[in-house]
Every structure is written in C-alpha cells, then in structure tokens.
C-alpha cells in the first residue's frame, strides 16, 4: 500500500515537472515570437518566425503569423513598386507636357514679336500651335482615362459581342492608311460567328490602339495581320506585324505606365507610354487578358483573350 502511494506521488511529481517544463518551453516560444515581431516592426522587415514545437495551437498561431508576414511583404513590395512607378510617371508627365508646351510658347512668341511675318507664314505657325495643343489635350485625356480605369470609376457594361463584326470593322477603318503606307494586310476571320463577353466600344478602342501601334512600330516589316480564333472557352484576337519587334528583355515592361521601350525615351519610339497601359486595363475591365510575343523582323503578336459566349 505504501509502495503504491509512493508510486502515485512519483507519477504526480513527474506530471507536475512535465507540465512545468511544457509551460516553460511555451513561455520561451511566446517570448521569442513577441521579441521577433517587435524586431520586425522596429526594423520594418518581414522575416518569418521559426519555432520547433509540439504544441498544436502554437503551430496554428505560427502558420497564421507567417502568412500575415508574407502578405505584408507582398503588400510592401507592391507599394514600393507603385511608388517608383508613380515617381517615374510624374517625371515623365512633366517631360511630355513641357515639351509641346515649350514649342507652343516659342511659336506664340514668334507670332507676337515678328512684325515682318506675312499672313501665310502666320497661318503655318498657327497650324503648328493647333497641332501641338491637340497633342497636349490628347495626353491629358490619356492620363484621365487611365486614372478612371485604375480607380474603378469607369463603368463598362458587358454584353454578348459579335467578334467577327468588331474585327472586320476595325481593320477596315485603317485600310486606306495601310494602303497609303504600302502595307500588306492579312485578315484571317472565320466564317463561323464567334461571340465573346465584352463591350463593342471598348473592344473597338482596344483594337484601334493595337493596330495603330502595329502601324507605327511595325512599319519596317510592311505587313500587318489580324487573326480571330477560338477554343471551347476563349476567343482570341491576334494583332501582328513583321517589324523590328520588341526584345525579350522589354516584353514584360511594355504594359507599364509611361514605358517607352527604354528609360532614355528613345525618339524612335516617342509617345506618352500610356497607350498599351490603357489597352491592358481595358482588356482586364472586360474580364480578359492580353499577352505579347515578339521575334524581331519575323512576327510580333499582341493576343487578346476573352471569355467565349455561345449563340
């Protein structure tokens, strides 16, 4: 009987010691978590917490904390990228607005200070002022459009759209210009009527942007094409040319705000750098995707992907 009591006491003491050690280890782990989070906060880092423990509840807590830290890291990275993009955008806005306005000011000063100018010369300068003013207004409108798209203020009604008709109408609207520039045009639109979830006006703007882009930057190849195709779930539109194309290192950047193929703003590719950014946002507003592939002087293809709708 005494032996049995002693055994019970030993077991109880062992259990108490075990509980004490468990609590001590738990306190140690909690202290580590607290200090690590405090350090992350002070140093503005998102280093993960690594704790070896058999405590199931503590394991769950660590999983959630690390998920939060990963999310915070992603948010911080995205915020930093946006801040860099915005600084670059503001710098480029200043550049793109200053250049034509400086030209306009120069023309106006000439008109104002040169009393010997005849009427014909005056009209020529006034026409140049008019053209540069339109450029500025167009640029401001692009900034406005992009702002509305990215803020979600621009509502787009989505309906079933006949893609054959949209593609035909938009490529034909450029036919005279393409012929005047000596382009060979290849149109591949199937007889089968294809429908997609979209918006006719938005799609027309997207196609106009991409066709204009192909004419401007694919001029060397003198070939432009449009292909309409589909599978069971998706309708694809390919706008392609055989010009100088875009190097692989630039492909991931062409849809960025203010990107004009290189940071020094090569005049060969002059422009606001907003056209393709707006195009991408418009495609996304339709629930679609846009992709680019390019092999210089062989084929550069912008592919729009939209949800297919049945008849």
Report pLDDT digits (tens) over 5-46: 566 666 556 555 555 455 556 666 667 666 666 766 666 666
Query: Which is more confidently placed, 263 or 258?
Result: 258
Determine the pLDDT at residue 179.
92
Determine the pLDDT at residue 252.
73
At residue 216 the predicted structure's pLDDT band, cuts being 50, 70 and 90, is confident
pLDDT in tens, 51-90: 666 667 666 777 777 777 777 777 777 777 767 766 766 6
Mean pLDDT of 179-202: 94
| pTM, two decimal places | 0.60
| Residues 245/295, Cβ–Cβ less than 8 Å | yes
Average predicted confidence (pLDDT) for the chain: 79
Q: Count other Cβ atoms within 10 Å, centred on residue 247.
A: 11
Q: Is the pLDDT of residue 211 over 60?
A: yes
Output the CA–CA distances (angstroms, integers) from residue 220 to 11, 94, 298, in the order listed.
89, 31, 11
CB burial readout 148-164, b (16+ within 10 A) else e:
ebeeeeeeeeeeebebb
> Within 152-258, where are the H helices?
163-172, 175-180, 200-217, 248-251
| Residues 100/135, Cβ–Cβ less than 8 Å | yes
| Residues 303/236, Cβ–Cβ less than 8 Å | yes
Question: What domains can you pick out in the chain, each with its CATH number?
Answer: 159-309 (3.30.565.10)
Q: Is 87 exposed, middle or buried (0-12, 13-18, 19+ CB in 10 A)?
A: exposed
The SS3 assignment for 154 reads: coil
Query: Which is more confidently placed, 261 or 167?
Result: 167
pLDDT in tens, 123-182: 988 898 888 888 788 777 777 777 777 666 667 889 999 999 999 999 999 998 999 999
Q: How far, in Å, CA of 235 to CA of 257, rounded?
A: 27
Query: Which among 209, 205, 219, 208 has a CA at the least distance from the CA of 271?
Result: 209
| Tokens found for residue 298 | 């062989």
Query: Which is more confidently placed, 20 or 200?
Result: 200
| Residues 252/81, Cβ–Cβ less than 8 Å | no
Output the CA–CA distances (angstroms, integers) from residue 214 to 10, 48, 120, 209, in the order listed.
86, 47, 36, 9
Backbone angles phi, psi at 290, to 5 degrees: -130, 135
CB-based contacts of 311, cutoff 8 Å, min separation 6: 193, 195
Which residues is 260 bridged to in the sheet? none
CB burial readout 15-48, b (16+ within 10 A) else e:
eeeeeeeeeeeeeebeeebeebeeebeeeeebee
At residue 265 the predicted structure's pLDDT band, cuts being 50, 70 and 90, is very low
Query: In sequence order, what DSSP letters do the residues of 106-122 get, joined into one string?
Result: HHHHHHHH-TT--HHHH
Determine the pLDDT at residue 269.
35
Query: Which among 171, 242, 181, 179 has a CA at the least distance from the CA of 203?
Result: 171
Q: Is the pLDDT of residue 275 over 50?
A: yes
Q: Is the pLDDT of residue 225 over 60?
A: yes
Query: Which is more confidently placed, 289 or 110?
Result: 289
Determine the pLDDT at residue 263.
38
Output the CA–CA distances (angstroms, integers) from residue 270 to 178, 215, 235, in the order listed.
20, 14, 32
Q: Is the pLDDT of residue 122 over 80?
A: yes
């Amino acid at each position: 009987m005494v032996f049995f009591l002693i055994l019970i006491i030993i077991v109880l003491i062992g259990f108490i010691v075990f509980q004490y050690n468990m609590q001590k280890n738990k306190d140690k782990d909690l202290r580590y978590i607290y200090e690590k989070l405090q350090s992350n906060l002070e140093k503005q880092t998102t280093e993960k917490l690594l704790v070896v423990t058999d405590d199931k509840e503590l394991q769950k807590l660590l999983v959630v904390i690390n998920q939060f830290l990963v999310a915070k890291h992603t948010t911080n990275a995205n915020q930093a990228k946006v801040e860099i993009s915005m600084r670059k955008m503001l710098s480029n806005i200043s550049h793109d607005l200053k250049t034509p306005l400086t030209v306009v000011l120069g023309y106006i000063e000439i008109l104002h200070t040169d009393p010997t100018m005849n009427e014909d010369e005056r009209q020529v300068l006034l026409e140049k002022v008019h053209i540069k003013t339109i450029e500025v207004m167009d640029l401001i409108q692009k900034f406005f459009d992009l702002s509305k798209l990215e803020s979600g203020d621009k509502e787009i009604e989505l309906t079933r759209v006949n893609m054959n008709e949209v593609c035909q109408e938009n490529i034909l609207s450029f036919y005279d210009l393409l012929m005047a520039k000596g382009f060979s045009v290849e149109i591949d639109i199937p007889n089968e009527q294809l429908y997609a979830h979209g918006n006719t006006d938005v799609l027309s703007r997207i196609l106009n942007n991409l066709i204009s882009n192909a004419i401007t930057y694919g001029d060397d190849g003198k070939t432009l094409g449009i292909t309409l195709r589909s599978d069971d779930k998706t309708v694809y539109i390919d706008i392609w040319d055989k010009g100088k194309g875009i190097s692989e290192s630039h492909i991931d950047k062409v849809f960025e705000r203010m990107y004009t193929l290189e940071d020094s703003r090569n005049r060969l590719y002059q422009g606001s750098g907003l056209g393709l950014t707006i195009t991408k946002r418009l495609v996304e507003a339709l629930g679609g995707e846009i992709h680019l592939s390019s092999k210089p002087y062989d084929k550069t293809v912008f592919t729009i992907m939209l949800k297919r709708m049945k008849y």
